[in-house]
Amino acid sequence: MKEYITGIGGILFKCKDKSKTTKWYSENLGLKSESWGAVFHWREFANSTIEGSTSWGPFDNETDYFGPSGQEFMLNYRVQNMNELLQKLQADGIPVVKISETAEYGKFAWVDDVDGRRIELWEPIDSAL
């Protein structure tokens, strides 16, 4: 089977008070973040000239971004060949919840896994990491 997932693009989670949570991580663990979260930059193991990033993103408890499951966390997977992957998923009977237009940092799509967990798929644009 062809591999589509290339890594973890982000860890997104709900919190009671997004500002308080962000401040706690900053003051206690030194995590520098923006209003939307933080980014960890890294290089590929097999080819250290390739840069990548993983995001850390707190969301308000009331968000509907994670879908109707009530889940507290959502994983964002870095993928390659998004269009091919979405065609395969749909051919296998897995509905794509939403597809975003390509943004400055890549293309996004959302599907629910076999347990009903919403997952986010991200095909980054090389220059945006």
Residue 129, domain member (yes or no): no
Query: What's the CA gap between 73 and 63, in Å, rounded?
Result: 11
Query: What's the CA gap between 117 and 2, in Å, rounded?
Result: 23
pLDDT in tens, 2-17: 899 999 999 999 999 9
CATH number at residue 51: 3.10.180.10
Mean pLDDT score of the chain, rounded to an integer?
92
Residue 113, domain member (yes or no): yes
Q: Record the tokens describing residue 30, joined without a space.
A: 């030194």
What integer pLDDT is reported at residue 11 of this predicted model? 97
Domain interval for residue 74: 5-124
What integer pLDDT is reported at residue 73 of this predicted model? 95
Residue 118, domain member (yes or no): yes
Residue 59, domain member (yes or no): yes
What integer pLDDT is reported at residue 79 of this predicted model? 96
Residue 65, domain member (yes or no): yes
Residue 51, domain member (yes or no): yes
Q: How many folded domains does the chain comprise?
A: 1
What integer pLDDT is reported at residue 105 of this predicted model? 85
